[in-house]
């Protein structure tokens, strides 16, 4: 598959003339990035790494003998009965 060796950009310009004589114009820029796979790699890896860091920070104490933040300590659950209407 052929791939340009340099970063290429272009502008696409579209003109349309309708039956009543109204002219419509639009344009948008396009670019081809040779090393897009490097950006794609980080777009996939960063959310996963961020989630692993969050899960490691909030692991339950005693899992590996070390302390750590506990989800139950960070978000305490209160006991309540479903019989009471507030």
What digits encode the pLDDT tens for the residues 14-47? 999 999 999 999 999 988 776 777 778 888 899 9
Specify the residue for token string 């960070």.
74
Rounded distance between C-alpha atoms, residue 51 and residue 55, angstroms = 6
Cα–Cα distance between 20 and 3 in angstroms, integer? 43
Closest CA to 53 of 69, 75, 40: 69
Model pTM score:
0.36
């Amino acid at each position: 598959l052929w791939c340009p060796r340099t970063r290429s950009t272009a502008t696409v310009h579209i003109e349309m003339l309708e039956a009543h004589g109204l002219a419509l114009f639009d344009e948008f820029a396009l670019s081809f990035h040779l090393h897009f796979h490097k950006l794609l790699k980080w777009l996939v890896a960063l959310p996963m790494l961020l989630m692993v860091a969050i899960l490691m920070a909030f692991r339950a104490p005693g899992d590996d003998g070390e302390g750590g933040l506990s989800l139950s300590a960070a978000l305490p659950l209160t006991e309540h009965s479903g019989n009471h209407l507030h």
